[in-house]
Chains A and B, each alone.
Chain A
């Protein structure tokens, strides 16, 4: 089954990959270890999970203004996600997507964290997210 969501590109580009879905907001500083590309916040649903190379689907960015810098460091460390699907954009996540330099999309016509599940195959291109359920 394939579902297509329509939105607005935050960082232009196209990418295909496996989705990693967080239903909770993600912290950058204090929330991820950029050297390993892993979520380290103990109270988080994805605690200990690696996002490197995945298309990270999340509702919003929370916490410190170090958010973008930490995601920039994932790019410089080779642990970055391959794409970002952002439920609700903020200055933190917009700048984070820009400096991670991966295709990113927001303002979708359905809640991406509800429609997409971890492990689904996702194609991000031309202001759409094509989701193939696994």
Chain B
């Protein structure tokens, strides 16, 4: 792999052992990818503070320097971690101190994470604590090279913002944060940003939050790790709908980049979305829509819902407002809980706008920092949950061993109020 003089200096230890270890990881990773070179970046989004049993053990052995070395640099050496070289933010992680007594989440994890925030904050990490950094001010520009984790954020950055990032992991973002470098491979290169599959929406109209999520789940199933291009009868989506679409496509497949000609920035037309010939379209019609709906609901058997989860990926301020409007004057069923997850910065605005008070009067909760899947935490005794998120409906049954219902926001709120699932595809 070609290295610049600066990169050779970092590799050889001129900037210290930790930076040299970071370069060593990038060289191993670059070789694994067969990358030609590294690219310079100054926007890293990853995870360092998320509690885990392995992390707790490493911190007990050698403090956060040790945990960062092993987990974020894949190094066995004793290192002293310097300040981040480029702007770096912490994505979603565990639950924080204000969740204690609400979320059954180990107090030891809360304390470990608070300790981590102090360490990483002092090293320059911005504690955004959300899976949607693009909702709280981290908006890379079109063409900007980044090193991001979180599949739903990666697909949003690539597709909606036109930024360039692969789906990085905890070791590569750690190495990137100390070097400002990442292998120049995959989505960083022009030739890998054209569409591979054409999906034609035909016979159904995709214009709701739920429908955008189901179409995303279908796109991921069809495209796997490739790049779908979506045309046909779709409405002009908003941020929340593309957030849902992308999260679903990255869940059912491994999609990191898609185009919707006329809507997303890198494809003005269907022809422009493909490098050469436009492929035969794969149809998304009534039968395909029904099949996706049934897949997302196949883990549900009992209609007695004891938990409703909204805000995956983290809710926009307007999604919190919509939930509040539906819950205004209502009361949750006894034995049923409702949580809506949102970035902490937006929770402050939800508090100030009065939405949190409305949701709490109904018995629901507005929570930040995490989600049930990340933290493996749901209300005690949950057996059946309902959600408006295709991603959470996919993952949570595996993670918590519970049943799932997937539906609209209105159906989820109705389930929270009645304690019964009464959803259906309309």
New A-B pairs, 20, CB < 8 Å, besides A63-B250, A64-B250, A68-B171: A10-B32, A25-B224, A30-B395, A35-B53, A40-B399, A62-B224, A64-B150, A72-B74, A72-B170, A73-B52, A73-B54, A76-B54, A91-B33, A94-B29, A95-B29, A95-B32, A95-B171, A96-B169, A98-B28, A99-B169
Complex interface bits, B186-211 against A, C-beta within 8 A gives 1, otherwise 0? 10000000000000000000000000
Any A CB within 8 A of the CB of B129: no
Once A25-B254, A62-B254, A99-B74 are accepted as A-B contacts, the answer to whether A94 and B33 lie under 8 Å apart by CB is: yes
Any A CB within 8 A of the CB of B373: yes
Bound: A123/B47 CA distance, A: 36
**Size category of the binding interface on chain B:** 35 or more
A92 in contact with B171 (CB, 8 Å) = no
**What is the interface of chain A, defined by CB distance below 8 A to chain B?**
8, 10-11, 25, 30-31, 35, 40-42, 60-69, 72-73, 76-77, 88-92, 94-99, 101, 104
Bound: A94/B169 CA distance, A: 10
Any A CB within 8 A of the CB of B23: no
A69 in contact with B171 (CB, 8 Å) = yes
Q: Which A residues lie within 8 Å of B28 (CB)?
A: 11, 98
A64 in contact with B225 (CB, 8 Å) = no
Any A CB within 8 A of the CB of B172: yes
- Chain B residue with minimal CB distance to A47? B398
What is the CB-to-nearest-CB distance from B26 to chain A, in angstroms, rounded to a whole number? 10
Bound: A131/B26 CA distance, A: 32
Bound: A77/B54 CA distance, A: 8
Once A42-B299, A91-B168 are accepted as A-B contacts, the answer to whether A64 and B151 lie under 8 Å apart by CB is: yes
A65 in contact with B154 (CB, 8 Å) = yes
Q: Which A residues lie within 8 Å of B168 (CB)?
A: 65, 91, 95
Once A25-B224, A30-B399, A98-B32 are accepted as A-B contacts, the answer to whether A90 and B254 lie under 8 Å apart by CB is: yes
Bound: A40/B399 CA distance, A: 8
Any A CB within 8 A of the CB of B149: yes
The 6 sampled A-B contact pairs (Cβ below 8 Å) are A73-B52, A90-B167, A91-B172, A94-B32, A95-B172, A98-B74
**What is the interface of chain B, defined by CB distance below 8 A to chain A?**
25, 28-29, 32-34, 47, 52-54, 70-71, 74, 148-151, 154, 166-172, 183, 185-186, 224-225, 250-251, 253-254, 299, 373, 394-395, 397-399
What is the CB-to-nearest-CB distance from B116 to chain A, in angstroms, rounded to a whole number? 15
A98 in contact with B171 (CB, 8 Å) = yes
Bound: A105/B251 CA distance, A: 25
Q: Which A residues lie within 8 Å of B172 (CB)?
A: 68, 91, 95
Bound: A75/B53 CA distance, A: 14
A95 in contact with B169 (CB, 8 Å) = yes
Bound: A68/B168 CA distance, A: 9
Bound: A31/B74 CA distance, A: 22
Most buried by B among A10, A11, A101: A10
B34 in contact with A72 (CB, 8 Å) = no
Most buried by A among B29, B33, B254: B254
A30 in contact with B398 (CB, 8 Å) = yes
Q: Which B residues lie within 8 Å of A35 (CB)?
A: 53
B32 in contact with A97 (CB, 8 Å) = yes
A63 in contact with B169 (CB, 8 Å) = no
Q: Which B residues lie within 8 Å of A41 (CB)?
A: 398
Q: Which B residues lie within 8 Å of A88 (CB)?
A: 225
B253 in contact with A62 (CB, 8 Å) = yes
B32 in contact with A65 (CB, 8 Å) = no
A69 in contact with B397 (CB, 8 Å) = no
A11 in contact with B151 (CB, 8 Å) = no
Q: Which A residues lie within 8 Å of B34 (CB)?
A: 8
Q: Which A residues lie within 8 Å of B166 (CB)?
A: 90-91
Bound: A67/B25 CA distance, A: 17
Bound: A49/B224 CA distance, A: 23
B33 in contact with A89 (CB, 8 Å) = yes
Q: Which B residues lie within 8 Å of A63 (CB)?
A: 151, 250-251, 254
Once A40-B398, A61-B254 are accepted as A-B contacts, the answer to whether A98 and B29 lie under 8 Å apart by CB is: yes
Q: Which B residues lie within 8 Å of A61 (CB)?
A: 254
Q: Which A residues lie within 8 Å of B29 (CB)?
A: 94-95, 98
What is the CB-to-nearest-CB distance from B178 to chain A, in angstroms, rounded to a whole number? 16
Q: Which 10 A-B pairs have the closest CB atoms?
A: A68-B169, A91-B166, A65-B149, A94-B32, A69-B170, A62-B254, A30-B395, A10-B32, A95-B169, A99-B74
